[in-house]
Structures are given as C-alpha cells and as structure tokens.
Amino acid sequence: MLPTRGIAADPRPPPVNWKTAPFTAALYDYAVQNRILSRVGARVLWGYDIDHLRDAIAAQDTSALTLDIPCGGGIAVDDNPRHIAADISPTMLKRARRRTKSLLQTDIYALPFGDATFDACLTYNGLHCLDDPATAIRELTRVLRPGGTLTGTTITRGSGRDPLITLLQHQGSFGTPGTVTDLHTWLETADLTDITLTPSGAVTAFTARK
C-alpha cells in the first residue's frame, strides 16, 4: 500500500463546480474523450493542437509510480496499478473507472500521501480550474521524490483568449489561470528545476523536476 498521512479536511470549498455539477463534468469528459470533438474544440476555443497532449500521454513511463490529478475521465489513464488516478469529482472518477481501478477521490490541495511518494505527477488541464494553482503545485511537489517530474498542461492568459477565460470564470468552470510567466514563477517557487514551458495557443504544456 502507498504511504499515507492523516490530513484534516481542507476547509475551503472548491472554487468551481466540478465536484457538484455531474452534468458539466460528464459533458466535458465526453468531448475530451471524443477525438473529433476534442480536436475541433481545442483548435476553435483555444487555438491548441490536442495531438501535443496525446503525444505527451503516449510518452509516459509506465514503470514510474505516478499520481494523475485531476484525472478527469481518465484520458491519461491506463490499466496500470502504478498509475494512481485521482480527482475531486465523483462523476469524473466514475467515468475513469472504465479504464482503471486505481482511483482515489481527493483534494489536490491536501493529498493524503507522505512526502516523496511518487516518481511522477501529472496534472493535465486542471490548474486553470483551481483558485490557487501555486498551492496545488507546491503540494504536488511535496509528494514527488527527489528527481521526480511534474508534467502537465494548463490554459494560460495572454494569448488572445482572455475574454473566454473570464466568461468561464463567471460561469464557475475556471478558477484563477495565470500567464505563462506566472506558471514559470509557480514552478520555480515550488523549488522545481529544469522547467520547460511549451505554449500552443492558449494552452501551455510544462515539465519540471524536483
């Protein structure tokens, strides 16, 4: 079993409605999992080539003990007991169960794992849904082993899609996305190194090492 630690429940409510809006979660996951819809949607909404995401997922090290949060409906998941898929949304976890049984409902701000547990952490398309991405990055860094990698994608401000980002914030789907510069600062402040940022439209892919 993975080492865990007792953590008091985070008193902050989720800033967005992914946990309590099953229809929104299911609709989003359906679109992401559908290759045609996801390709068109990513290009039209965000100017993003979603093949970059699929290539990153295909390049994962399946031997690494990996935490994938938020896992959504399991786009990055395979049936591998060393890949732990976690999310705050019961709907997303129910959909991810089609791909794996290694599932955990938890809050990214308060992960129930000891320090230096994982070889890798993945966070695809999740940071922009959070009210405090910097804190989430620090928590992901905490559970990484020295030499471990943090990999992910997030929507960032400053690429011409800011009005859409603001609309989705008002709707309750987005938290507090930052710019590419903000993302670099968050990673650097978490004491991560070898930071690589790769913008594509409004989406920035990132990797960093502990």
CATH among 3.40.50.300, 3.30.479.30, 3.40.50.150, 3.30.565.10 for 22-209: 3.40.50.150
Res 185: pLDDT: 98
Q: Which residues contact 29 (CB under 8 A, 6 or more apart)?
A: 72, 73, 91, 92, 95
pLDDT given for residue 28 in this prediction: 77
Contact 197, 127 (CB under 8 A): no
pLDDT tens, residue by residue, 65-83: 999 999 988 899 888 999 9
**Nearest-angstrom CA–CA distance, 31 and 81:** 26
- CB of 155 within 8 A of CB of 175? no
Tokens of 72: 């959504």
- Name the pTM for this structure: 0.88
Q: What are residue 80's phi and psi, to 5 degrees?
A: -135, 115
Mean pLDDT value across residues 117-135: 96
Per-residue pLDDT of 153-192, as tens digits, reads 999 999 999 999 999 998 888 999 999 999 999 999 999 9
Exposure string for 84-109, b = 16+ CB within 10 A, e = fewer: bbbbbbebbbbbbeebbebbbebbbb
Examine the pLDDT at 129 and tell me if it is beyond 60: yes
Q: Which run of H or of E encompasses 208? A: strand 203-209
Q: How many whole angstroms from its chain centre is CA 25? A: 14
Q: Looking at residue 179, what DSSP letter applies?
A: B
Give the pLDDT of residue 14. 43
